[in-house]
Amino acid sequence: MVPGTGYLKDLTRKIAERLNAMAGEIVAIRGNCDSEVDQMLLDFPILSDYTLLVDNGKRFFLTHGHIYNEDRLPKGRFDCLFYGHTHRWKLERTEHTAVCNTGSITFPKDGNMPTFAIYCDGTVSVHRLDGSRLKELSL
């Protein structure tokens, strides 16, 4: 049985309500498929092409990756570039910065397993959905 349009609208509403309840804890950036219509459902900004975060003196450039990425770095200094557009996880130190592609939970590419990344206490790590660590890098 394929859910009908009413089911999808209800599911979308419930997801938006859940996210809006956490609005004060969310830092979001625009993906290449996000639109103004998506923003109308949410109580926090999602349409920025990037965000620069600072934690204990470490600077993090967060972006989806379709505009800025490791081949098209933005100007400025930052300790780690986070992106995910390619859906292929990566965690490496380059000449100028650390690079973390978070991969994808829902649509990993090239035979990769679903992955996500965490930053905690000066360390970036990439994990499988079961929580097992694939790689970590101290900044």
Indicate whether 130 and 66 sit together in one domain. yes
pTM of the model: 0.85
CA diameter of the chain? 52
Indicate whether 93 and 115 sit together in one domain. yes
Indicate whether 131 and 65 sit together in one domain. yes
pLDDT tens digit at each of 139 positions of the chain = 455 678 888 888 999 999 999 999 999 999 988 999 999 999 999 999 999 999 999 999 999 999 999 999 889 999 999 999 999 999 999 988 999 999 999 999 999 999 999 999 999 999 999 999 999 999 9
15: which 2 tokens? 């997801």
19 Cβ partners below 8 Å, 6+ apart? 26, 42, 44
Domain boundaries, position 134: 49-139
3-state secondary structure 76-135: CCCCEEEECCCCCCEEEECCCCEEEECCCCCCCCCCCCCEEEEEECCEEEEEECCCCEEE
